[in-house]
Amino acid sequence: MIPLKQLEKLAARHGTPIFVVDHEEIRRNYAMFKRYLPRVQAYYAVKAEPLPEIVETLYKAGASFDVASMPEFRIVYENIKRMPAQKRQAWIWDKIIYANPIKANATLRELDRYKPLVTYDNIEEIRKIRKYAPHAGLALRIRVPNTGAMVELSSKFGAAPGEAVDLILAAAKAGLGVEGLSFHVGSQTTNFENFVQAINLAADIFKEARDRGYAQMNVLDIGGGFPAPYDETVKPFKELATKINAELDRLFPRDIEILAEPGRFMIATAATSVVTILGRAVRDGKVCYYVDDGVYHTYSGIIFDHCHYHMKSFRKGREQICGVFGPTCDALDVISMSESLPADLELGELLYSPKIGAYSHASSTHFNGFPPAKVVHVNR
């Protein structure tokens, strides 16, 4: 984490609220991912935090990218303008997967000229892709266990394993090329057995496809869900990687390309929010602080990501349970009703929240006229 003295200086220089991104931490997270999963190519999930500066840092480190909308696609594509035109097409194939299984017709039309790799999970999507993006390569997304994930995704996306090969053959019959399979075990998955079960399900589907005459698949996308170390209850990433590596090596030969879509893992620990106390009240005996950022802005993950971010003080003092509220007039704008903070903080003092990089600032709005926090980039 960026030293507190530096955070205070940045707040004095830029004002608050600020969202401070530590690019050295991003590079460390990427290096850790590659060190423990050397066979897996990391496709950063841009939706976790779609700042162009983050995309550039990860691109330079060697990452590829998972996009789920055309605006995200364009953010990534901006990073290839320096490349010779003849190399751009290969770059798209190697560096981007469009991993939203349901796509608008207009999106498919726009994507088609890039010949991208896209996911699908139903027969209607096959018909759409055939009509509007016939040059795309396909990866079938399958439904896998999401037990213990902070954000469950299996009820919204994924073909049932029993229908998977039928959908592969249907796409092939439509003249489309199915390159492989993808899955997602749920965001912030601390139940590592989800990955084990999903990899085994995928191996069974690969085998069934070969047995039924389709042997062209050479890609397995193991999705996201790699947990960020928010606290000591999250087991070490190395432990998860050991399980994944064992199953991949046992079930998939080396000619199968393995992809993953880490988002939270790459960025969660790489950003810190700094806020100013705007107001203070005592309500029913509890000290309540009002700050200049909230759930409509950097703390949106409290609502959308089922995540709790701890608020910390820059100075020590006798702590007690306090409430912390955002700046808007909406009663929903509650950061915490039970944060341990000094009870004697004054107006104008600063608070900060570490490990707030993922699915936070990315969801900021301008609700009630309050703009999102200013982004400050730090390259240590």
User: Whose structure tokens read 């994930």?
Assistant: 149
Hey, where are the domains in the chain? 4-19+269-378, 23-267
Q: What is the pLDDT of residue 92?
A: 61
pLDDT at 45 over 70: yes
- φ and ψ at residue 366, rounded to 5 degrees: -110, 30
Q: Where are the alpha helices (DSSP H) in the chain?
A: 4-14, 23-36, 52-61, 70-77, 85-95, 105-112, 123-132, 164-173, 193-211, 237-251, 264-267, 301-304
Q: Can 329 be counted among the known catalytic residues?
A: yes
Residues 6+ apart with CB under 8 A from 331: none
Q: What is the pLDDT of residue 79?
A: 73
Q: What is the pLDDT of residue 53?
A: 94
pTM for this prediction: 0.93
User: Whose structure tokens read 């990433």?
Assistant: 237
- Point out the catalytic residue in the list 288, 307, 322, 329: 329
Q: What is the pLDDT of residue 143?
A: 93
pLDDT at 259 over 70: yes
Model confidence at 88, in pLDDT bands (50, 70, 90)?
low
Q: Which top CATH class is 23-267?
A: alpha beta
Model confidence at 77, in pLDDT bands (50, 70, 90)?
confident
pLDDT at 85 over 70: no
- Alpha-carbon distance 310 to 338, whole Å? 10
Q: Where is mean pLDDT largest: 91-105, 154-168, 186-200, 238-252?
A: 238-252
Model confidence at 190, in pLDDT bands (50, 70, 90)?
confident
**Mean model confidence pLDDT for the chain:** 93
| Cα of 160 vs its chain's centroid, Å | 24
What does CATH list as the number for 4-19+269-378? 2.40.37.10
Q: Which residue has the higher pLDDT, 4 or 150?
A: 4
Model confidence at 93, in pLDDT bands (50, 70, 90)?
low
DSSP states of 164-180:
HHHHHHHHHHTT-EEEE
Model confidence at 186, in pLDDT bands (50, 70, 90)?
confident
